[in-house]
Structure 1
Amino acid sequence: MDFAFDARTEELRARLLAFMDEYVYPAEAVAEEQRAALASPWDTPAVVEELKAEARRQGLWNLFLPDSEYGAGLTNLQYAPLAEITGRSPQLAPVALNCSAPDTGNMEVLHQFGDDRQKKQWLEPLLAGEIRSAFAMTEPEVASSDATNITTHIERDGDEYVITGRKWYISGAMDPNCKIFIVMGKTDPDGADIRRQQSMVLVPRDTPGVTVKRAMQVFGYEDHSHGGHAEVIFDHARVPVSNLIGEEGGGFAIAQARLGPGRIHHCMRLIGMAERAIELMCRRAVSRTAFGKALAQQGVVHNWIADARVTVEQLRLLVLKTAWLMDTVGNRGAHTEIQSIKIATPRAVVDILDRAIQLHGAGGVSQDFPLAELYAAARTLMIADGPDEVHQRSLARRELKKYL
């Protein structure tokens, strides 16, 4: 196996690292100041639009999409180290490059399964960064870790679908520039095959019967980079039948296709978060004195930093192997590895961030360092895209099957 990045990846890494140093890191404090002065906390700070314009000018745009007609034409293996870099500033860098969830997954769905009209109306403005979107699957009344549980109804009435249901933690929905929802619900709730009961439909935000009820916080944070998380009510909202994505009964399969690349993106961004935590730990350790000597001279601090470095190197290799398998044998061939990184990466990065917070004392849980917000994001990913236990169950079954 060749462990070296190819020439294009190295060139993009160099450009992206320079972009982060020159534009993104300095903009972090500016974005917070500007957001505090906005009429709504969900409005976009001016510096974010400036970052987007500069990223597009530099060709650092839509890097996630492998189709060169629409995106950068990168493989998963080429994009993975770029996603890691953006994870060092998850509130700004992904959105600056138009590589932020949930838009990335929604664009992938429209690219793979949308028809020409849907691509023209929704995919193109998303690719241009002109609008944002939301993916509405999770529901408060059922265990949404099992997608077959969802209860939202999508009932056909002539040439329209009528959508009724309640969703929550719908990423992107608080952003006033979120113009379209991809909604997953049941078109055939009594169907014999529980994985063919679901469908996905496009629901414009301004559709009568759609209400964005409230923002959902994560450990007290409002996730502005993803356009927030919202509770959304669909009360007999009507859309044309032509807003169906793919075919009736295809929603479960589309969801699985959407989540494969997304897990690579999340895990590499998590590794970027861990790298920033290690950097902050090291800077803190050499600059602070306690009980007569620098923290860098304390044995326990040595252990934390060494363990963090070993863990990150292990995780990175596993995630890159997974990306390589996805490129060579497809998502199905990489199923075990995809589940492995989803289990291993968030929990390990949470532990690294926890040590970094401890090393910073009160500062670690404050707004003066990014660690608390990074921790909230990393801990959430032990639940998002399927809780760890769901992936452990599936992975264990696959392993046991060899012996049954």
Structure 2
Amino acid sequence: MPHTAAPIAIHKAIEDVLRQDRGRLIAGLVSRLGDIQLAEDALQDALISAMSHWGRSGLPHAPTGWLMKVAYNRGIDRIRKSQSETRKAGDIGAVVPSHFEAEDADQIPDERLRLIFACCHPTLGEKSRVALTLRTVCNLTTREIAAAFLDTDVTIGQRISRAKSSLRDTGTTFEIPEPEAWPARLNAVLSTVYLIYTVGYVNEDRSDRDLGEEAIFLMRLLDKLCPDDPEIEGALALVLLTEARREARVGDDGATVPPESQNRQLWNTQMITEGRALLNAAMERQCPGPYQIKAAIADCHMAGPTPDWQQISLLYGALWPHEPTAVVALNWATVIAELGEVDLALSRIETLGSELKTFQPYYAAYADVLVKAGRMQDAKAAYIKAINLAQSPSNRKFLENTLQQLHL
């Protein structure tokens, strides 16, 4: 009698694979099949096949490898069945071995970085590059990506669809380009990997995917691929210094704890040491860039016993020529308020209202500065707006506690 598997066990096995290895699977399939949409469709076919096959024969020794092999075969079947792809079907053997085997998951190479470089093709706009990578490599939902971009689900969905079509129509090859072509894509690649981390940080990794861990892994791969690059070192330092505080970010009451109030005993000293060493190495190359500056800002926030607000303000001044954005202006204004220039900070923040009207941190920062200015009723309204827009329970709890303590 065949060794059957219960439907619950099958569902769990599939969920585990998708949570841990979907990025690897899609990246591997894209590199072999040469098309993102085809890879996604083929993987979906394999998942449907797994539901019935695993139910009859039991779970395979390496579910990830099984899905890779079956998805690849389904992709070839789709190519051969498509009249418009007849020529491509004839040529596929020159691109991919006909005897492709992937029963052992450990034999599947990690090609996510290859796919990121392909998604960050210079023919695509940077926003499209990042959105496509977040959807394809990290399996973020359209809604999660839209929230990260302060955009609508429909707009992001259309952007991703157009990006896939553009790569297909231009015949993009899914390979890491030669070193001389890296500068045209490196900024987008760094932005993508860092945004992967940021989405996980904002969502507090409440999903089954640990996006922070995945971003650090990809950043390390990039550092090995392009050694001694100061901006890659700066970006890796930034995520390490931020991640080092993970265990201290939320207090026992479930509320977010600002860095200056965190229990430093909970900080990861190994990550801090590595992050600071990377930052120092990057700065010694005397080629400052935005990620190095942001890493320095993160380091200054961890200074004791309180953040070095004066140095942070100077660093935001250095960051501004690189990133003259509303978010940088908002962060800089909050630092100015900490230095006692409340009226100046308030005037700067109020000019950003129309541009950041759906950005929750805007209202939280605005409320804090309004309190410093003594405008308590206005502060209460801003806090309520921030609470209503809060994406995480811990941020909402922190804001509610703060509002309660003000007795407004």
Q: Give the TM-score, by structure 1 length.
A: 0.27
Larger CA Rg, structure 1 vs 2? 2
Q: Give the TM-score, by structure 2 length.
A: 0.27
Which structure features the higher share of helix residues? 2
